[in-house]
Amino acid sequence: MGFEAINERICKLCLKGKYHNITIINIHAPTEEKDEETKERFYAELQQTQEKVPKHDLLITLCYYNAEIGRERAYQKVIRNHTLHDITNRNGELVCEYAIANDMVVASTFFQHKNIHKGTWKSPDTLTLNQIDHVVVNNNKKQMIRDVRTLRGPNCDLDHFLVKVIVKQKLITTQKEFVKKLRWNISNLQNPDKFGAYNKRVNDRLENQEEIQNVAGLAKY
């Protein structure tokens, strides 16, 4: 439906979906050694791009976050437990803070896979495997993401592996508030006093209902 190159680090692609349109924001975040000002400027531009996306779209922000996300309890709501790393670096903190601020989740750490299917970058000496490419989606549409994993077979001519995201579109159902049903206390019917009061209330309601129906009938004619 549309493509827009925001700058040299951010671009946006809009796809037509069955129930919801899909907006993909592809990014290349600054590396860990970049200064804090550069990182803050990047996330400010990313925030401006996201704010222009329609609220009903499935929003997927992905690619090179250059972020290691650990298992700290403070970020459990947005990352869950299936990340490759134990400790979050500064770039990882920025990703989690961005997700929390925009009611999103890091779907790339939601699914249980072998470590070789979590790592997205391998060092030239092949001794270091990092998970630094991530997929971030709307929290209210996260159930559409069925799987995220690394594919080691395809040759991308890069030191990064291809990451596959499976999306299954469906209508989102909202949970209705549970209404507690009241049950009749049958034992009260055995008590003459309570039974008489109950019988009077029922008769009053029936008479009132009959009056309402009569008024409605007169109004009709």
Q: Could you report the per-residue pLDDT of 14-60, keeping only the tens digit for each? A: 999 888 899 999 999 999 999 999 999 999 999 999 999 998 899 99
Using DSSP's 3-state secondary structure scheme, residue 61 falls into strand
**67 and 147: one domain?**
yes
**106 and 19: one domain?**
yes
- Counting Cβ atoms within 10 Å, is residue 171 exposed (0-12), middle (13-18) or buried (19+)? exposed
**62 and 155: one domain?**
yes
**210 and 108: one domain?**
no
Number of domains in the chain: 2
CA 165: distance to chain centroid? 14
Tell if the pTM clears 0.75, that is, is over it.
no
| CA–CA distances in Å: residue 25 to residues 9, 14, 28, 62 | 10, 9, 10, 6
CATH number where 153 lies: 3.60.10.10
Return the pLDDT at 218.
Answer: 46
**pLDDT tens digit sequence for 112-169:** 999 999 999 988 888 899 999 999 999 999 999 999 999 988 777 778 889 999 999 8
The pLDDT confidence band at residue 221, using thresholds 50, 70 and 90, is: very low
Assess if residue 137 is contained within a domain: yes
**13 and 105: one domain?**
yes
**144 and 214: one domain?**
no
**pLDDT tens digit sequence for 71-119:** 999 899 999 889 999 999 999 999 999 999 999 999 999 999 999 999 9
**16 and 55: one domain?**
yes
Assess if residue 172 is contained within a domain: no
**83 and 8: one domain?**
yes
* Domain span including residue 194: 186-220
Residues 76/110, Cβ–Cβ less than 8 Å: no
Assigned token pair, 215: 């008024």
Average pLDDT, the chain: 86
**52 and 7: one domain?**
yes
Assess if residue 173 is contained within a domain: no
